Amino acid sequence: MDYAAIDQISRADYPNNNLKDIQYGTAGFRMRAELIPHVVYRMAILSILRSKFFNGAAIGLMITASHNEEPDNGIKIVDPAGEMLEADWEKIATEFARVPDSELIEKIKEIIREKNIDENAPALIVIGRDTRESGVSLSQAAIKPIEFMKAVVKDFGVITTPQLHYLVVCINTKELYGVATIEGYFDKLSSAFKKSQTVEDKIVKKLNYKNEVYVDAANGVGAFAAEKFKEQLNNFLNINVFNNGDGKLNYKCGADFVKIHQAPPLNNPSKPYLKCASIDGDADRLVYYYVDEKNEFNLFDGDKIAILIVSYLKELIEASGLSIKLGLVQTAYANGASTNYVTEILKVPVAFTKTGVKHLHHRAQQFDIGVYFEANGHGTAIIKDEIVKMIREFVSDKNVSSQQRCAMTELSNFIDIINQAVGDALSDMLLVETILYAKDWDIVTWKQCYSDFPNKQLKVKVVDRNIIKTTDAERKCTSPIGLQDKIDQLVSQYPKGRSFVRPSGTEDIIRVYIECQNQMDVDKLAAQVALAVH
């Protein structure tokens, strides 16, 4: 390893601008783009070390600030199985980003010693970036340490976050999961999608399903991906992309805007009852919506998408006659009506975890098929390898009934449309369309599954948000003493009331969530809980 060169480039081109409080948060580092170059340079070094730690397994580096505004940028590391960086290394990442320039080399040596890394082991890093202009020079910063650390880089340029996760998994499974190219990604998902609509017995005329969707691409990288799917799926799904990059990234558009404002994005097509989807700036979040003839806005958030997927999977599993343990993972933000629907109507178990994709992902791995979604639209389904194998074998088993085979073939195709590595807005959109097609539903029928309980989220500014500590998947707070009792007492005055508070992992605020049987109660309880937090 050429330490002298690493040190010299660090001091000359990527000096630490003394950001003492930066932190590898729930989704990596995120800040103003001009502040981040040294963090990117250092994270590339760290990723190479991590790859050597795994004796050359590919590690991903995604340069994106997701739904943040255009002047921000960020970086996150993707582990070999396509998952988010392990918690232990998140801590190292934070320390490593903060060390002064003069201690950088010493820190690298310390990580090597402590993690018992073979300096001469091979290393491979896979880089992607979103459409932000700052991403060009930042990906150069990420490539810089390669030659001094005996590593190999595969730079895929502008891609979506889920595509990067997919590529990492493909490389590390020696392409068992899929072909490790962007074309491989599109081909895998598109052909499975088309196949799902050409399964024998299923080609019946659809009376309600409309194979047309309007996609708000947040003026981000998802626009390219959506256009590519449009091309590949031409007769199957008519994709109309708007906010396709001509406007400002994430400005009054995208999944985050639509979910928070409960309103359509800029440039929304004006016709009522159009089936619309909004994705975010790096295409890992999805919500659906439509506007009716009274101009009323109807949202399908992560909860509604999750329920559609769970109900479909449940039907297929039942029809197949196989014993497969299906479960849903949600966070405290999931609307209570959605949880009730899954447990009481679908009779599928629901588990809760803390906010943050990695927590949901890990919990979902405990089911044979685990579906997980945050209400904000981030989620996917994961299937145990042995279950996938069993399903595939079952499809070619001659002793099963045609009804069972049909269900298993459908399930087998459906699995290939899922990006199991991470929540993927476009893969999720194809899943939704596959299900709506299979059920022959229009968007209004989907809406009728259940109605959300009225709810509200507030941000409360406090001096130190870390005073609030939580337990039970963030549904109860343990500190400050007495606060939970106070909340319980307030909530008990409202029938079907629910409320929890937690410190945000991405902003310097406390988040307060309230749910009641009517909006008036929600507003009243919200004001009371916010006051209690102050």
Kindly state the number of chain residues that form the binding site for Zn ion, as judged by CB under 5 A: 4
- Min. distance of Cβ 331 from ligand 16G in angstroms? 8
**Could you tell me the end-to-end alpha-carbon distance of the chain, in angstroms, rounded to an integer?**
52
Angstrom distance (rounded) from CA 250 to CA 265: 10
| In the block, residue with structure tokens 């409309």 | 210
Among 140, 505, 527, 530, binds ligand 16G (CB under 6 A): 505
Chain position carrying tokens 């089911």: 367
Least Cβ distance, residue 282 to Zn ion (angstroms): 4
Interface pattern 268-297 for Zn ion (x via CB under 5 A):
------------x-x-x-------------
Q: Which residues of 318-333 are buried (b: 16+ CB within 10 A; e: fewer)?
A: ebbebebebbbbbbbb
Cα–Cα distance for residue pair 254/220, rounded to 1 Å: 9
Interaction with ligand 16G in 328-357: which residues (CB under 6 A)? 355-357
User: Does the active-site annotation cover 66?
Assistant: yes
> According to DSSP H, which parts of 346-384 are helical?
357-364
CB 371 within 8 A of CB 309: yes
3-class secondary-structure state, position 152? strand
Partner interacting with residue 505 (select from Zn ion, ligand 16G, none; CB below 5-8 Å by kind): ligand 16G
Q: Are strands 276-279 and 469-471 parallel, antiparallel or unpaired?
A: unpaired
Q: How far is the CB of 228 from Zn ion (least distance, A)?
A: 19
- Nearest approach in angstroms of CB 423 to ligand 16G is 8
**Closer of 355 and 484 to ligand 16G (Cβ):** 355
Residue 511 interacts with ligand 16G (CB under 6 A): yes or no: yes
Residue 156 or 372: the one with the smaller Cβ distance to ligand 16G is 372
Smallest distance from ligand 16G to CB 524, Å: 24
Based on CB atoms, which residue is closest to Zn ion, 31 or 530?
A: 31
DSSP string, 15-78: -----TT---BBTBEEEEGGG-HHHHHHHHHHHHHHHHHTTT-EEEEEE--TTS-TTEEEEEEE
Nearer to ligand 16G, 267 or 504 (CB): 504
301 binds ligand 16G (CB under 6 A): no
Interacting residues with ligand 16G between 9 and 48 (CB under 6 A) = 26-27
CB of 283 to Zn ion, least distance (A): 7
CB under 8 Å to 156, separation ≥6 — which residues? 126, 127, 128, 163, 164, 167, 182
Q: How far apart are CA 417 and CA 395, in angstroms?
A: 17
Partner interacting with residue 304 (select from ligand 16G, Zn ion, none; CB below 5-8 Å by kind): none
Burial 28-61 (b: 16+ CB within 10 A, else e): bbbbebeebbbbbbbbbbbbbbbbbbbebbbbbb
Q: What 3-state DSSP class applies to 404?
A: helix
Q: Does 376 bind ligand 16G (CB under 6 A)?
A: yes
Catalytic annotation, pick one of 10, 47, 51, 66: 66
Q: Which residue is nearest to Zn ion (CB)?
A: 66
The rounded distance, in Å, linking the Cα atoms of 412 and 172 is 22
Per-residue binding letters, 66-85, with Zn ion (x by CB under 5 A): x-------------------
Contact between residue 525 and residue 491 where contact means Cβ atoms under 8 Å apart: yes
CB atoms within 10 A of CB 119: 13
Q: Does 301 bind Zn ion (CB under 5 A)?
A: no
CB closer to Zn ion out of 30 and 511: 30
| Residue 428 binding result from ligand 16G, Zn ion, none, given CB thresholds of 5 to 8 Å by partner type | none
Inter-helix orientation angle 519-533/483-491, to 10°: 160
Nearer to Zn ion, 66 or 409 (CB): 66
The DSSP element (H or E) to which 300 belongs, if any, is strand 297-300
- Contact between 455 and ligand 16G by CB under 6 A: the answer reads no
Among 374, 428, 474, 515, binds ligand 16G (CB under 6 A): 374
Asked whether the CA dihedral 37, 42, 43, 47 is positive or negative, the reply is positive
Indicate which single residue of 208, 506, 518, 519 sits in contact with ligand 16G (rule: CB under 6 A).
506
Of 149-157, 199-207, 503-511, 517-525, the segment contacting ligand 16G by CB under 6 A is 503-511
Write out the two tokens for 19: 């950001």
| Residue 413 binding partner per list Zn ion, ligand 16G, none, with a CB distance cut-off of 5 to 8 Å that depends on partner kind | none
Q: Closest approach of Cβ 92 to ligand 16G, in Å?
A: 18
CA 191, 196, 199, 201: dihedral to nearest 10 degrees? -160
User: Which tokens go with 363?
Assistant: 């919990």
Shortest Cβ 192–ligand 16G spacing (Å) = 25
Residue with Cβ nearer Zn ion (327 or 379): 379
Contacted entry of Zn ion, ligand 16G, none for residue 355, CB cut-off 5 to 8 Å set by kind: ligand 16G
Which of ligand 16G, Zn ion, none interacts with 376 (beta carbon under 5 to 8 A by kind)? ligand 16G
| Residues that are catalytic | 66
Which parts of this chain interact with Zn ion (CB under 5 A)?
A: 66, 280, 282, 284
Which parts of this chain interact with ligand 16G (CB under 6 A)?
A: 26-27, 355-357, 374, 376, 378, 504-507, 511
